[in-house]
Amino acid sequence: MDSGAKVIVRDPEILGGIPVFLGTRVPFKNLLDYLEGGHTLDEFLQEFPFVTRQAAIAALEHAKELVIAQTR
């Protein structure tokens, strides 16, 4: 199932087309930056309460699938 693609959208009218979580103005990159900086998923979700845990996990799973597919 491609649920990650459904939670991340690109719209030229929203932040110039930067990929964001559906229904928000929160860039997916923010989640990656938080995790890269050593923060937890819970910390990210507290800072961006409009992003659901389910959406964040689905987006990360989708990103993982894309990386795996590109390395085959």
> Residue 72 has what pLDDT?
84
Enumerate domains of the chain plus CATH numbers. 3-70 (1.10.10.10)
> Residue 1 has what pLDDT?
43
**Ordered mean pLDDT values, 10 residues apiece, the chain (72 residues):** 75 96 97 98 98 97 94 86
First to last CA, the chain: 19
Pair type for strands 8-9 and 20-21: antiparallel
Is 0.75 topped by the overall pTM?
A: yes
Find, among 18, 63, 27, 62, the residue nearest to 48 by Cα.
Answer: 27
> Residue 2 has what pLDDT?
55
Helix, strand or coil, per DSSP, at residue 23: coil
